[in-house]
Structures are given as structure tokens and as C-alpha cells.
Amino acid sequence: MSEDEIRKRWEENPMLKPRIDKVVVNISVGKSGEPLEKASKVLKILTGQTPCKRKAKKTIRDFGIRRGEPMACIVTLRKQKATEFLKRVLHVVDFKIPKSRFDNYGNFAFGIKEHIEIPGVKYDPEIGIFGMDVCVSLSRPGWRVKNRRKCKAKIGSSHVLTPEEAMVFVKDTLGVEIV
């Protein structure tokens, strides 16, 4: 299906047009303590939300990781905050995302090596430099029917978001070039 056909379908039926469901920003430090606190400080500065800490699932002695030890922090952004954050962060990757970054359901992810590359962020020697993963989840209106607690229902195959449709949506809304 071509891009024009996809856009025409969206105009005919607005329930088919995708939207940004959520953006998850993750900084994995690998150890608890001061580095994790600095990473959560960076996330709070970038997103304006309090990060949630994630614990290790397994003990790996070679790396000095114990099961249950906090080692990463994440923030989930939704609606307007998610769109604003994406527009700021996409400057780092020059508004280019490889086609291989999209999964079968239209979600995509990319990484940032240094958070100081984001426009408006200055280097603070007390905090240091952190890399992060940005995962974007796209969905159509009505997708909630599949995940809600009460009266769950199946979603038809025509309502599942395809990678091609996700790429067209990302091009139109965020101005991203698919490489």
C-alpha cells in the first residue's frame, strides 16, 4: 500500500489514524547508589517527571550485580509531553530513523549515546554523561479494547497497525526521515 493510499484511508476513517500511545525513556546504569541517583536526576531534568527505579532480575557475579538491586530508572511519557519530548530528542539522531527500528506492530526505538547532545541541556560535571534508550509505542484509537481489564475483546487484523503505516505517521507528525 502506498503512502497516499494510507493517508486516504485515514481521512475516510479517522479511527484508523495512529497516535503516539507512550514514550518510555530508560537509563540503565548497571549498579545502584550514586550513579543511579545521578541518572534519575538527569531523567527528571529532561522529562519533568519523577523516574521509577528498576531492579535486577538475576545475580551475575562477574559484573557484581545482585538480584533485586536497583540498577536502572525509567520514565513513561504520554500525550502532549510525549510528543514534545520526541521533537526535542529527535534532533540528536538528525530526524533519521532506520527502517529496521520498527517492529511488526509499528512501535520503534532508538538510542542516545550522550544526553548532553539534546538541545537545551548543558553539561554538569557533578552529574556526568549518560546514554539512554527511547522506546515509542504507537496505537490506533480503540486498541484499548484489547488491554482493558473489564470486557476484553479481540482486535481484528485490519485494525492492527502495520510498520508501513507507522512510518507514514512518523514522517507526517514528527518530520522524521526513514532511512
Closest CA to 86 of 40, 27, 24, 131: 24
How much is the average pLDDT of 105-116? 89
Half-sphere exposure of 76 (CA within 13 A, CB side): 7
Q: What is the pLDDT of residue 115?
A: 85
Q: What is the pLDDT of residue 106?
A: 86
Please enumerate in sequence order all residues whose Cβ is within 8 A of that of 84, keeping only pairs 6 or more positions apart, or say none.
none
- Taking every pair of Cα atoms in the chain, the longest distance, rounded to a whole number of angstroms, is 57
pLDDT in tens, 3-45: 888 899 999 988 889 999 999 999 988 777 888 899 899 899 8
Half-sphere exposure of 34 (CA within 13 A, CB side): 3
Does the pLDDT at position 118 exceed 90? Answer: no
Report the distance separating Cα 68 and Cα 88, nearest Å. Answer: 34
Q: What is the pLDDT of the chain when averaged over all its residues?
A: 89
Q: Which three cell numbers stand for residue 8?
A: 486516504
pTM assigned to the model: 0.86
Alpha helices in the chain (DSSP H): 3-12, 34-47, 79-89, 144-147, 163-174
Report the distance separating Cα 43 and Cα 127, nearest Å. Answer: 11
Domains and CATH numbers, the chain: 3-178 (3.30.1440.10)
pLDDT in tens, 84-107: 999 999 988 889 999 999 999 889
How much is the average pLDDT of 135-140? 93
pLDDT band (50, 70, 90) for residue 80: very high
Does the pLDDT at position 1 exceed 80? Answer: no
Please give the distance of CA 50 from its chain centroid, rounded to a whole number.
Answer: 16
How much is the average pLDDT of 120-128? 84
